[in-house]
Structure 1
């Protein structure tokens, strides 16, 4: 069953990337959807195949999803970008990610989502499309893209219903100033909200470079490891 769309959230929280992208590109503006040099058209086509009209450019209102009478009290939340997590700039080692030391900057340009209800659980797919823009210092052949997807119930105190960090990568085109990437989180599952509670739900996305870093081992484990080596 496809759930109806929630009302679009305020765009005030969405930090839009503009000045750096224009400076670097001139006039150019779950599962990885297969990226390789020169594959922008196939990426866009695959993204459209998965989500059809249920996608929107960053800054556009979320489109309405198909609705059935039995789903009238359920919502498929709108997608929003966490403030401060709409772009990710990476510089040379030990250098600030700006000016001539900027290697690349990753942006989000388009999002999509769909939801299905089964046995009281909502299973959602969240799609993200964007660009990796090459900086003056030059990007590596392959760029890692760390993404976090969360389901949040907004209110006086926001409640995190689901959150997960993902990592994907994109091969950079040698002759291009930017490369398109596309990613779909297909394992977003959470209990169906009751009544009108779903109207306060939001799918939050953004870049999270610390999300998948390995956690430090407990001190006791490190001491034990040293003792065994000794």
Structure 2
């Protein structure tokens, strides 16, 4: 029995010694043994807090875009092509006044029964919203070359800028990505 207690005591002592020596390697005001120690006259470095980078969302009603031949709206036989977004990501950088969002999305465009291979222009809509407030909105005419059948494409917009609040965007801020599916605007007559 005393042999078991002795082994336990030695193990506990060894573990305590290792933990104590591990504490010697903590960040303290003592001697710095690292080879890249800062000079004694160096200014203290300010901590950097990463700002919140808004998520990208795609609403069902504008994540798919269909183009039909003239007079064939919603007729599957008259479909020229269909485009959709599959996935999106973003990267944010910020300074004191502005947050810049670099948006990248993967999409696919498929030729319809009435379509032919060629170049099309997709009406991509990028918006940044905070609750009901629209902070940024831009429609981008994005050209895509459709081969026979269809193809994947990569959409990128690196210059989405919104005001940078203290701590970055709020947790309610979202980047909305989709297609501008609204009716074509009639030109104004003068």
TM-score (norm 2): 0.68
CA distance in 2, matches of 1:178, 1:90: 14
Q: Deviations over 1:54-97 (max 9, x none)?
A: xxxxxxxxxxxxxxx6224x211110013410101111111123
CA RMSD of aligned residues (A): 2.2
Match of 1:150 among 117, 120, 127: 127
1:117 aligns with 2:88: no
CA distance in 2, matches of 1:140, 1:94: 20
CA shift, 1:209, in A, is: 4.6
Q: Which residue of 2 aligns with 1:164?
A: 138
Q: Which residue of 2 aligns with 1:89?
A: 66
1:76 aligns with 2:48: no
CA distance in 1, matches of 2:92, 2:168: 17
CA distance in 1, matches of 2:113, 2:102: 35
State whether residues 81 and 109 of structure 2, in contact with CA within 8 Å, keep that contact through their aligned partners in structure 1: yes
CA shift, 1:120, in A, is: 2.1
State whether residues 97 and 103 of structure 1, in contact with CA within 8 Å, keep that contact through their aligned partners in structure 2: no
Q: Which residue of 2 aligns with 1:133?
A: 110
Higher share of residues assigned helix: 1
Q: 5+ unaligned residues in a row in structure 1: which ranges?
A: 1-68, 223-230
Q: 5+ unaligned residues in a row in structure 2: which ranges?
A: 1-46
Q: Which residue of 1 aligns with 2:31?
A: none
1:180 aligns with 2:152: yes
TM-score (norm 1): 0.57
Count of aligned pairs between the two proteins: 144
Secondary structure (helix, strand or coil) at the match of 2:114 reads: coil
CA distance in 2, matches of 1:103, 1:132: 10
Choose 1 or 2 for highest CA Rg: 2
Stretches of 4+ moved more than 6 A in 1? none
Q: Which residue of 1 aligns with 2:187?
A: 216
CA shift, 1:189, in A, is: 0.7
| Mean Cα deviation higher: 190-199 or 104-113 | 190-199
